[in-house]
Amino acid sequence: MDTTQLSIVFEDEAILLINKPAGITVNKSETTIHEKTVQDLVEEYIGIKPLPESKTHGRVQEAQAGEEDGVETFDASKAFYFRAGIVHRIDKETSGLLLIAKNLETFLDLQKQFKEREVHKVYRALVHGRVVPTTGEINVPVGRLPWNRRQFGVVAGGRESVTKYQVLGYFRTDDKRREIVSLLELKPLTGRTHQIRVHLQYLGHPIFSDFLYAGRKTQKVDRRLLGRVFLHAATLSFRHPISRKEVTFDSPLPEELAHVMDQLVPVV
């Protein structure tokens, strides 16, 4: 990977907005030593230099452990360097819009907007089953599972997590299962790790091809058609840190997700 693979949607002196493809991890960590991350690319492209190793030893994981939207567990001014200005995160297999601050002042401003829920995000997801009612809100706490630190779930003592949804359409798979699936528009009001994926599993409608939350047998069959989670960060709205005007950016479904939709049969 090189910096030419940064799919830039918008750039000015303050912000960089990219369209992250599925399969690329956002932030560096101990588990990404042998792969190039979005953070690596951004450091090269913008020229953000990490703090000296002597000052960062044992602290990188703390910075990465912050909330998906906002670094609540770590000094935000230091997090700018630890995360190369990346303001929020999306999962490795999730595609779509990712916002990056090009300087510390912008980073702090955008972090504040996320924490105060002034940033509005819209996702698209294909899920198993017929979701009813066609609009609703999922409001259950999400936290890391004590018996599996890799996964999250609805747990007592978890953090407040709210996701609104709307059904965009019902479809039938054109395979042996002939299963009904639903295309959803999702608006997370909070930014917990794996929030949308956990909430949809809780609702009984896991995301298509979700290797963690759809169930082993189900995701194995799904992945014959799609080798990634069907979750896309489609719209991002926020107040521009310089003009202070509300700006909105959109990202269409990537080719592999659009291809799946083309193979589905619409149903009433």
Which residues belong to the active site? Answer: 91
Rounded to 5 degrees, what are φ and ψ at 202?
A: -60, -35
Question: CA–CA separation, 232 vs 230, rounded Å?
Answer: 7
Residue that the structure tokens 């193979």 belong to = 263
Amino acid at 164: K
| Residue 9 C-beta-side C-alpha neighbours within 13 Å | 20
Amino acid at 9: V
Question: Which 3 state secondary structure label does DSSP give 126?
Answer: strand
CA-nearest of 142, 118, 121, 255 to 197 is 142
Rounded to 5 degrees, what are φ and ψ at 141?
A: -75, 145
Residue that the structure tokens 């979005």 belong to = 38
CB 181 within 8 A of CB 208: yes
CB 165 within 8 A of CB 138: yes
